[in-house]
Every structure is written in structure tokens, then in C-alpha cells.
Amino acid sequence: MAGRRVSKWVVAVPMALLALATVYPLVFTANVAVKTRREYVLDRFSPADALRWDNIAAAWTSVGMSRYFLNSALVVTCSVALLLLFGSMAGFALARLRFRGSSVLFLGCLAALFIPFQVIMIPLTRVMADAGLVDAYPGLVLAYVAQFLPFTVFLMTSYYSTVPAEIVDAARIDGNTVYGVFWRIMLPLGRPALLSVGVLNALFCWNDVLISLLMMPSADHRTLMVGVTSLRGQYSDDIPVFASGVLIAAVPVLVVYLFLQRQIADGVTAGATKG
């Protein structure tokens, strides 16, 4: 018993150090973001002597971070709304309605899940360019929807499969159309799954850089993550402003993580345990 306790601490100390190594990089960046340039050059580690917001303000106004922030917010909101709508429609139909070809369609979605974006990015850019959707907000939204829809359909189908068939039958007997069942029963019932999938999709879209780089070439249309990469070039000699820009881009994600940690982990593991 004593031996076990000792071995527990042998494990616990490295784990605590690792936890520190996980959190410290962000703490470091946040500290740099409120330092003056002089303070940073003299001592990188010491806590800033005062909370100053000049760097954050400079990063926000200087290279169009506010514009990029709004671009990202707009594109992510539209993408997630469409993903949830289309994903739950298809998930409900595939899980709860019998129709010819439903299993083929489900397998098709599953197959599409295993196509990485890098494999289709060149032909996809062509298809989008032919449709006049490159460098336009609807184009980027559509690219995100296409990228994350197979995952959304898959999770919504598995979620709706767990809803008892009696609920659908009862709603039908009460005189609902199929659309009524979807809109009045299934969509509200799906709220926990929609929250998980929605938060995950929002993170994926917000964090993406590759799809956005390809679909939005002009500077005005950049999303926040692409904006952060350009910030680096312009502020390579002013690290505190650069760190501020990084922090601005990370804050929404951190806030979402603090409040919806459970839902994010649920979404990640739902894919794992059902796959």
C-alpha cells in the first residue's frame, strides 16, 4: 500500500509539470501582450509592471484585425447555422425514416468523412472558381459546410438513432407531417447533440487557415487566422503587439472552452466511440 502511494506521487509530479507546460505558453503570451517593448527586451519572464491595453488596441486597429474578426464571425455563424440545419435534416431522415437508398447515402457520407481537405483542395478550388465563388463570403461558407457536413450528418444520425421510434410514431398519429415531426419534435430533442456538434464546428471553422487562404485571396476578405499570420510579418520587431494579436484571436476560443468544455469533449468522443 505504501509502495503504491509512492508510485502515485512519482507519476503525479511529472503530470503536474506537464500541466504547467500546457498552460504556461499561453500565460507567457498574455504577459508579453501587456508589456512594453522595452520591458520585453530587458526581461521576458517577469510579470508586466502594469496592465496596459495599448498593445491590444494597436493590434486591433493597425492591420485590420477588427475587420478580420468580423469576417470570421460572419462566416463562422453562417457556416454553423447551415451545418446544423442540413446536418440534422439529413440525420433525422437517415436515422428515422425508411426510404430507398438510405443506407447507400449514409455510407456515402461516411466515405466522404475520410477524404481529407488536402486531397481535394485543388479540384475544389477549380469547381468553386468556375461557380464564381472564390473570394466571396458565400464561397467560403459553402467550403466550410462541405468540409464539416459529413461529420455533422454522421453524428446527428447516430444521435437520432437513439431517439425511441415511439416518439416519432406518436407525433405522426397526432397528425404531424414529416416536416412537422422534424421541426417540432426532432430539432428540439436534438438540442444536446446540436450544441456539441455546433460548438465543434464553430471551433473548426474559426481555427481554420488553409481553406480560408485558398478561398479568400484578397486582403479585405481575410479571416482572423490568416490575419494573424500577416500580423507576424508587419510586427516582427514589435513582439508585444504581435502577442496581442495572437491573444485577440485566441480569446473567443478560450471563452467557449471555459463554458462548453463538456460539450466539446462529448462531440470528440461521440465520433470515437461510435466509429
Partner 1 sequence: MRPAVVGPGAEEAVAEAPARRPARSSPRRSRRGSRAERLAPFVLVAPAVLIIVALRLWPLALGVNFSFTGDGDRNGTSVGLDNYLTLFGDPLFRTALRNVGLLVLLLPVAVAIPGLLATFIYLRVPGHRIYRGVYFFPAVLSPVIVGAIFNLLLAYDGPVNAVLGVVGLGPVDWLGDPDVAIFAVVGVHVWATFGMALVVFLAGFSTLDRSLLDAARVDGASLPQTVWHVIVPGLTRTIQFVFVTTMIGMLTSMFGLLYVMTNGGPEASTYLPEYYIWVQQGQFNQPALASAASTALFLIMLVVGLAQVAVLRRAGREG
Residues in region 157-196 near partner 1 by CB under 8 A: 172, 175, 177-179, 182-183
Residue 167's contacts (CB-CB under 8 Å, 6 or more residues apart) are 185, 189
- Under the binding rule (CB under 8 A), the answer on residue 123 touching partner 1 is yes
Amino acid at 139: G
Stretch that binds partner 1, among 52-60, 62-70, 99-107, 190-198 (CB under 8 A): 99-107
- Under the binding rule (CB under 8 A), the answer on residue 257 touching partner 1 is yes
> With contacts defined by CB under 8 A, how many residues of the chain interact with partner 1?
94
- Under the binding rule (CB under 8 A), the answer on residue 86 touching partner 1 is yes
- Under the binding rule (CB under 8 A), the answer on residue 28 touching partner 1 is yes
**Binding letters toward partner 1, positions 219-238, x by CB under 8 A:** ------x--xx--x------
Q: Whole-angstrom Cα distance, residue 155 to residue 267?
A: 8
Q: How far apart are the first and last CA of the chain?
A: 39
Q: Whole-angstrom Cα distance, residue 62 to residue 241?
A: 10
Stretch that binds partner 1, among 9-17, 49-57, 59-67, 159-167 (CB under 8 A): 9-17
- Under the binding rule (CB under 8 A), the answer on residue 48 touching partner 1 is no
Cβ atoms of 150 and 88 within 8 Å: the answer is: no
Measuring CA to CA, which residue among 37, 88, 82 is closest to residue 235?
A: 37
- Please pick, from the candidates 34, 140, 150, 263, the single residue that binds partner 1 as defined by CB under 8 A: 150
Q: Whole-angstrom Cα distance, residue 56 to residue 71?
A: 19
Q: Whole-angstrom Cα distance, residue 139 to residue 79?
A: 10
- Please pick, from the candidates 70, 115, 129, 165, the single residue that binds partner 1 as defined by CB under 8 A: 115
Least Cβ distance, residue 58 to partner 1 (angstroms) = 16
Q: Where are the alpha helices (DSSP H) in 97-238?
A: 102-113, 117-130, 137-161, 165-173, 178-180, 187-189, 191-207, 210-215, 224-234
Sign of CA dihedral 217, 212, 83, 128: positive
Stretch that binds partner 1, among 58-66, 162-170, 190-198, 263-271 (CB under 8 A): 263-271
- Please pick, from the candidates 56, 141, 153, 193, the single residue that binds partner 1 as defined by CB under 8 A: 153
Stretch that binds partner 1, among 11-19, 55-63, 158-166, 190-198 (CB under 8 A): 11-19
